Amino acid sequence: MIRVNRRLHSDEKNVSNWLFACTEDENEIIFEEHGKLIGYKGIMESLMPGSKIHATVVDMWVAIQNDLEKRRSTRARSRVFVHSDIMVCFPIVQSGHFYYITFNLMKDEVHVIDNLAICPGYKEFPEKLISKFAAYLSKINHHKAVAIGRVKPVRLEFSWPTRYNCIDCGVFLMRHMEIYKGLKKMEDGLPPEGASQQEQLNELRRKYATKILLADINKHKEALRRKVHVFDKLTKEDENILDQHGLVTTLGHDPSRLDLFSACFADKDGNTKNDDTANAIDEMKRRSDNLPEGSIDNPGPDDIFSTVMGKDRNGDAGMFGLGVRASDVWGVTTSRSACHRENNELKSRCGELTSENEQLRAQHTKGKREDEQWRKGGGAGVLAGGVRGGGIE
């Protein structure tokens, strides 16, 4: 469970800074739970303080909590978060408002957990959910079906309800999912409504964003770590350049090293301080114009920047700031010896395929010859592997 009153860890600062900078494609997939649940960057950006959380963020949090339940202590109370006979938990979004309904099958209790101090009017949704859930329990012949069907929902009281905050209901829901253990009193919650509570809610957004994106169930976890590392290594000057020129927004994709070089060494009108810089930019743009239609000059050891300015040295990634390594940006490049070995293997395989092709051609020629002989013989004849035209093998 995340502690609300501890300071942000470095990874929480770095991941949330990268996420809330909003400098990359909002349609990029940055969370994927083994093909079951997909989260786009634009959706995760709704965790930014002051924004209403997207319902898919809660779905991702449900997946995280269910994964944690699998690894819980055998002594701890079992919980199932719906997207066990002890506790079943339903995150609810109704008319844009998030709250929480829990079924304690051991005590025959149904709790509604909502951050709003004044009941927003659930339009009998909790009662309808109880009826549906009881019907499901009856269908599977659960011994608690009748008892749960008779239960009346009760709003759980706690010390941090809000009267004026209708934006952070999603964060409250995620917090309640973490800390509620089936007891009538919740602990480790939040301070009363006010500046201190708002500060902790804003930090929880950062902590939850990090916990979701760096979760073991996220197949994009390592790729995201590399992105965050590169972003963190950018110098303040580089960040200002990206902000001033709005490169990602303007281009619609991550900037190439040509784009970064032009942004660093030319003003908005394209003027440079010397002819060498102007010539280098002109040459890179000329090569960029000659790229095949639809192709993108992605940063790499053989991009346009490298062909004009020379290869990167000592494993660095030019134009990405001090300390950023080439392996951080475009991954590990293959060594010369490995390339030579791979080239020999490909040549060997090519020879094998050529030999196989020649054998197939020979078989095809032989088959055509036999077919012609069979036609000339009136259709009566024996062919290898079977009978044709009524002939006997």
Distance CA 43, CA 45 (A): 5
Is 105 within the bounds of a domain?
yes
Look at residues 281, 310, 330 and tell me which one is the last residue of a structural domain: 330
Predicted pLDDT at 118: 85
Question: How does residue 341 score in pLDDT terms, banded at 50, 70 and 90?
Answer: low
Residues 265 and 197 in one domain: no
Distance CA 100, CA 249 (A): 37
Is the pLDDT at 98 greater than 70? The verdict is: yes
Question: How does residue 386 score in pLDDT terms, banded at 50, 70 and 90?
Answer: very low
Is 377 within the bounds of a domain?
no
Q: Domain range spanning residue 250?
A: 236-330
Summarised one tens digit per residue, pLDDT across range 22-48 is 777 888 899 998 767 889 999 999 999
From 140, 152, 199, select the one nearest 4 (Cα to Cα). 199
Residues 48 and 120 in one domain: yes
Say how far residue 328 (Cα) sits from the centre of its chain: 18
Which residue bears the tokens 């941090």?
160
Residues 36 and 95 in one domain: yes
Predicted pLDDT at 321: 64
User: How many domains would you assign to the chain?
Assistant: 2
Distance CA 208, CA 16 (A): 9
Residues 99 and 185 in one domain: yes
Give the residue-averaged pLDDT of 136-146.
91
* 3-state DSSP helix/strand/coil % of the chain, to nearest 5: 50, 10, 40
**100 or 80: whose pLDDT is higher?**
100
Is 276 within the bounds of a domain?
yes
Residues 148 and 38 in one domain: yes
CA distances from 363 to 319, 353, 359 (A): 58, 15, 6
Predicted pLDDT at 258: 86
Give this prediction's pTM. 0.60
Residues 299 and 183 in one domain: no
DSSP states of 289-335 = HTSPTT----SSTTSHHHHHH----TTB-TTS-TT-BHHHHH-PPPP
Question: How does residue 69 score in pLDDT terms, banded at 50, 70 and 90?
Answer: confident
Summarised one tens digit per residue, pLDDT across range 225-262 is 988 887 776 645 555 555 545 555 556 667 788 888 88
Residues 119 and 259 in one domain: no
Residue 220: which CATH number? Answer: 3.40.395.10
Residues 174 and 139 in one domain: yes
Is 230 within the bounds of a domain?
no
Question: Which burial class, exposed, middle or buried, applies to 269 when counting CB atoms under 10 A from its CB (0-12, 13-18, 19+)?
Answer: exposed
Is 364 within the bounds of a domain?
no
Distance CA 146, CA 379 (A): 79
Predicted pLDDT at 357: 76
From 144, 149, 153, 124, select the one nearest 134 (Cα to Cα). 149
Share of residues in the chain with pLDDT > 70 (%): 79
Rounded to the nearest integer, the mean pLDDT of the chain is 80
Which two tokens mark 385? 């592997």
Residues 210 and 292 in one domain: no
Distance CA 199, CA 204 (A): 9
